[in-house]
Chain A
Amino acid sequence: MPQEPLAIMQGTLDMLVLKALASEPRHGYAVTRWVRDTTDGRLDIEEGALYTALHRMERRGWIAAEWGVSENNRRAKYYSLSPEGRRQLRAQSRAWTEYADAVFQVLQSGEARA
């Protein structure tokens, strides 16, 4: 059974969406599915919020959008990473990892003293 969903931490939404697009261009629905599948549904993210992130980053030029045709032959809006988006993804995931490492280290040291 899925555990109790985690609250999404601020600023990580963009990173997740960028990561979703890193391997290949996807339409919005595919992005939401990718996020749900890779987290086993542990992150409780409203899909509307993912769409908002997509459109916001399109406006910033981090991702580009094109209308294309889906697997089942329907018109769908496909998103892909721009070079700037790729840079952003690298920078944000590095910052996030360092942050997480630091937090983890603090928590570890606390356990050792106890």
Chain B
Amino acid sequence: MSLPPGVRRLLRRRDPEREVADELSFHFEQAVAELRTRGLSAADAEREAARRFGDVVAYSRELERLDRGRLQAERGVQRWEAARDVVIHAVRSLRRAPALAAAVVLTLALGLGANVTVYGIADRLLLSPPPHLAEPGSVRRIMVDEVQPFSDARTTGEGLSYPDFQDMRHASTLADAAVWQETVLTTGHGLEARQLDGVLVSGSYFRLRGVQPVLGRLLSEEDNASDVAPAAVISYELWQREHGGLPDALGRTLSLGTTSYTIVGVLPPGFTTLRLGAAEVWLPVERAATRVVLDGRRWLALGGVARLREGAGEAAAAAELTSLLRRAQSEIELAQRDPEVLLTPVLQARGPMAPPEARVAGWLMGVALVVLLIACVNVTNLLLARMVRQRRETAVRLALGISRARLVGQFLVEGMLLGLAGGGAALLLAYWTSSSVGALLLPDVAWDRLGWPARLVPLALLAAIATGVISALIPAVQTTRTARSTVSAGLRDGDAGNAAGRRLRTGLSLAQAALSVVLLVGAGLFVRSLEAVRSLDLGYRLEHLHYVQTTFASGSVTGEEASRIRQDVLERLRGHPAVSGAAAASTAPFRTSMMSDVRLPGRDSLPRIGGQMQRVYNVTPEYFGLLGMRFIAGRPFDERDVRAGGNVVVVNESMARALWPEGDAVGACVLIASDDCSFVTGVVRDARFSSIREEGVAQYFTPLRTHGSTFILVRSRAGSAGVSEQLREAAVAVDPRIRLVQVTTARDAFAPQEREWRMGATLFTAFGLLALAVAALGLYVVLAFDVGQRTREIGVRSALGASRSSIVRLVMGRAVAVTGAGVLLGGTAAALLTPRLEPLLFGVRPHDMMTFGLVSACLLTVAVLAAAIPARRAAAVDPAVALRGD
């Protein structure tokens, strides 16, 4: 027995009470009728039927209850099936336009991917506590805010001295306190020597972090006692790499510096310093640090961290630590320095010592959002174009009685699916790029140990769905509205095109162009900054310059022997075929610098030049020639001067101008740490040795007397490969007592100087080009679509005698007008925003005309290119075909 589906659906909607009543009344009619055929009276028949049935009221109620349950279950299934149908329909409808779906997914993947990447990094820097830190909420960094000795300004320093720590550690407001010193440890000897990142920690360090070892034990207070065997804890990564992850690593010795340490434990994987850096070896500070570090109250070499006692306020703890710190200082020191303890967030980037890269990361979050916005606009535009193309289908479906809400829902589900697909692709993209972008942004952070922030996944997918739905919202409402108001018009043809939709699409293109301009201007300013940094005249040449540092196992040579061996190394390297020149100096560019006061005979005090103390460089005579420094007056000192007693000095231009304004510096007498004259042999141009922002600082150069811990500077011949390794081998071969030779390039030493701009330039440019590509695609779609829509109009124009070139101009003109307006809008926005970028720029003004001009030209060019194909298609419209219509 089967009924047509329509009838069945109708019946399913009936309410249970009526159905049961109908069913039972049929039953009784039949029963009574049959009983009467057996000769019962009407009354008897009814009585007998009722007796056979039982309690009619109770059974009816039970039957209704059962039916209601059944209907409810059926409705649930129906609802689920309806949802499934909507999704299937959406998938089918997207599959019919694969190119569009791909474009949308790609756009979303790029826009969302940029965001996931940047937010992942920001999350790591600013939100997630360092790994393996128990109850991070109660942990604070200890910093000291005080007046700096040479600058008179108050600044915050992250360094504590070991005696300071001893004073503070038992503060009543603290549950625990610990200090650490990050250092580089040498292991092995000669050519096999290598360096490991190490951390010297107080016995409380691991207890404070609340970390458990994966093997053995961690360091405690006892390991800092002087009468136990020196112990070391190694990272999980080192354990895997060098001990194959085998338990017999415990008990092995590590020879570091002059001491042998026994490995007693292995840290869990992914353990980093509190500054998120990688470290391989952890040693007890009292055993591994020098006496100076442990005893010197002004030796601010240690990082401090505290865990607040439960219930103790941060302010109270800071006040107690301040009073403990001040108690140990003399009246004079207190008056001079006025120190105050600050308890700051344990995340470096949240505290006062945030690296500038963290600031750039903040900007990048804004930039990534703009990229997402552009992507959103683009998706909206693409969907609008498609939905207008589907207008006929929409009109048919509306005419068939499908509700508008259901159609809007359909479009939104499509948006959701697209968003989800885009989000998935974005997560893949972010997963692949996060650690390289992170490494570019903050190379000191151990991204590989921190792992990928998986907790962002649900958030990212949610954002992806939201993006998809938001992008689909306008098109959905727009299409169903117009399609409904003109169902018949929609069914005919759409060249009357909806003006509102066209205005909307134009507006969106304009917004995209404007946003691209903002990003590209930012990119341009960073690129120009980077260029300015790269082409900066440092006062010397960095190219092919290497630093060679030689160290000995301590105690193996006397100071004089070391000095002599270093001189031998210098001579050996100077004679090396790959080397064009060599010199020795107390410091190397962008390494360290020393400050020292000078006096002039007959003058009490000297003006502070450039607001800073003079910087002193002890150098061999070849230094000036080797670096390529230029003399303004006089000459460099030479071997004869040095042999004749060496009381000679070279000063820089700023110092000469400040001390001898009449220009009579050469031959003048300077008193350097003694009452004997050093005579100025020459004046050299200012050089930037410490920072690229170093300007007007007084520098002077005196002959290098002993080769203490010096740098040997070597200029290699252009085109010689593997120079660093050659230099290292040559230097190690000079004497067996040499423990370690490090060769670095001046470029590497300089790299941190340009990092901020390289990073800004790279990421802004990447994002800017991304935005531009997306915007160009958007403009192309809008124009192509418009040309398609206006075929008839264009046909009329050419039938009326419009030339092909005038039709090309029509399309091009529109592209240029839209983009031009976008450039104007974006340029204005950029001009308002860029002054806030100023502290991040170098050698370029925030309203750099060249950048703004180039970006505008670039955008207009792209607009013309994007318009080229639609314009050609418009010009090729055959009026006869167009006017015939379809």
Binding site for B on A (CB under 8 A): 25, 27-29, 32-33, 46-49, 51-52, 55-56, 58-59, 66-68, 70, 74-78, 80
Cα distance A58–B29 in the bound complex, in angstroms: 23
Q: Is the CB of B26 within 8 A of A59?
A: no
Given contacts A52-B66, A67-B11, contact A74 B29 (CB under 8 A): yes
Q: Is the CB of A52 within 8 A of B23?
A: no
Candidates B3, B54, B58; contact of A47 at CB < 8 Å: B54
Q: Is the CB of B53 within 8 A of A47?
A: yes
Candidates A46, A48, A56, A70; contact of B26 at CB < 8 Å: A70
Q: Is the CB of B27 within 8 A of A32?
A: yes
Candidates A32, A55, A68; contact of B3 at CB < 8 Å: A68
A-B contact count (CB 8 A): 76
Q: Is the CB of B62 within 8 A of A46?
A: no
B500 at the A/B interface (Cβ < 8 Å)?
no
B857 at the A/B interface (Cβ < 8 Å)?
no
Q: Is the CB of B26 within 8 A of A74?
A: yes
Q: Is the CB of A75 within 8 A of B22?
A: yes
Interface of chain B, main secondary structure: helix
Q: Is the CB of B66 within 8 A of A75?
A: no
Q: A99: shortest Cβ distance to chain B, in Å?
A: 27
Highest count of chain A CB atoms <10 Å: which of B2, B30, B53, B59: B30
B643 at the A/B interface (Cβ < 8 Å)?
no
Binding site for A on B (CB under 8 A): 1-3, 8, 11, 19, 22-24, 26-27, 29-31, 34, 52-56, 58-59, 62-63, 66-67, 69-70, 73
Q: Is the CB of B1 within 8 A of A59?
A: no
Q: A44: shortest Cβ distance to chain B, in Å?
A: 10
Complex interface: chain B residues within 8 A of A33 (CB): 34
Q: Is the CB of A68 within 8 A of B53?
A: no
Cα distance A28–B2 in the bound complex, in angstroms: 17
Given contacts A52-B63, A59-B73, contact A46 B53 (CB under 8 A): yes
Given contacts A29-B26, A52-B62, A59-B70, contact A78 B1 (CB under 8 A): yes
Complex interface: chain A residues within 8 A of B29 (CB): 74
Residue of A nearest to B62 (CB): A52
Q: Is the CB of B24 within 8 A of A51?
A: yes
Q: A100: shortest Cβ distance to chain B, in Å?
A: 27
Complex interface: chain A residues within 8 A of B66 (CB): 52, 55-56, 58-59
Q: Which 6 A-B pairs have the closest CB atoms?
A: A48-B59, A46-B54, A48-B54, A55-B66, A59-B70, A29-B30
Cα distance A68–B4 in the bound complex, in angstroms: 11
Highest count of chain A CB atoms <10 Å: which of B3, B8, B26, B55: B26
Cα distance A25–B2 in the bound complex, in angstroms: 11
Q: Is the CB of B1 within 8 A of A68?
A: yes
Candidates A27, A52, A56; contact of B59 at CB < 8 Å: A52
Complex interface: chain A residues within 8 A of B27 (CB): 28-29, 32, 47, 51
7 contacts between A and B (CB under 8 A): A29-B31, A32-B27, A33-B34, A48-B55, A51-B59, A58-B70, A75-B26
Q: Is the CB of A59 within 8 A of B69?
A: yes
Residue of A nearest to B66 (CB): A55
Complex interface: chain A residues within 8 A of B22 (CB): 75, 77
Given contacts A55-B63, A77-B26, contact A25 B52 (CB under 8 A): no
Cα distance A105–B24 in the bound complex, in angstroms: 42
Residue of A nearest to B68 (CB): A59
Complex interface: chain B residues within 8 A of A32 (CB): 27, 31, 52
Complex interface: chain B residues within 8 A of A51 (CB): 23-24, 27, 59, 63
Cα distance A43–B126 in the bound complex, in angstroms: 80
Highest count of chain A CB atoms <10 Å: which of B23, B59, B63, B69: B23
Q: A50: shortest Cβ distance to chain B, in Å?
A: 9
Cα distance A56–B2 in the bound complex, in angstroms: 21
Residue of A nearest to B27 (CB): A29
Cα distance A96–B154 in the bound complex, in angstroms: 95
Complex interface: chain A residues within 8 A of B53 (CB): 46-48
Cα distance A51–B31 in the bound complex, in angstroms: 14
Q: A59: shortest Cβ distance to chain B, in Å?
A: 4
Cα distance A66–B5 in the bound complex, in angstroms: 11
Residue of A nearest to B67 (CB): A55
Cα distance A48–B49 in the bound complex, in angstroms: 11
Complex interface: chain B residues within 8 A of A75 (CB): 22, 26
Q: A81: shortest Cβ distance to chain B, in Å?
A: 12
Cα distance A61–B832 in the bound complex, in angstroms: 70
In addition to A28-B24, A58-B70, A76-B26, 15 A-B residue pairs with Cβ atoms within 8 Å of each other are A27-B23, A28-B23, A28-B26, A32-B27, A46-B52, A47-B54, A51-B24, A51-B59, A56-B66, A59-B66, A59-B67, A67-B3, A68-B3, A70-B30, A78-B1
Cα distance A48–B73 in the bound complex, in angstroms: 24
Residue of B nearest to A69 (CB): B1
Complex interface: chain A residues within 8 A of B24 (CB): 28, 51
Cα distance A67–B1 in the bound complex, in angstroms: 9
Q: Is the CB of B1 within 8 A of A47?
A: no
Q: Is the CB of B1 within 8 A of A66?
A: yes
Highest count of chain B CB atoms <10 Å: which of A29, A32, A55, A68: A55
Q: Is the CB of B1 within 8 A of A25?
A: yes
Residue of B nearest to A27 (CB): B26
Complex interface: chain A residues within 8 A of B30 (CB): 29, 70
Complex interface: chain B residues within 8 A of A76 (CB): 23, 26
Complex interface: chain A residues within 8 A of B19 (CB): 77
Residue of A nearest to B65 (CB): A55
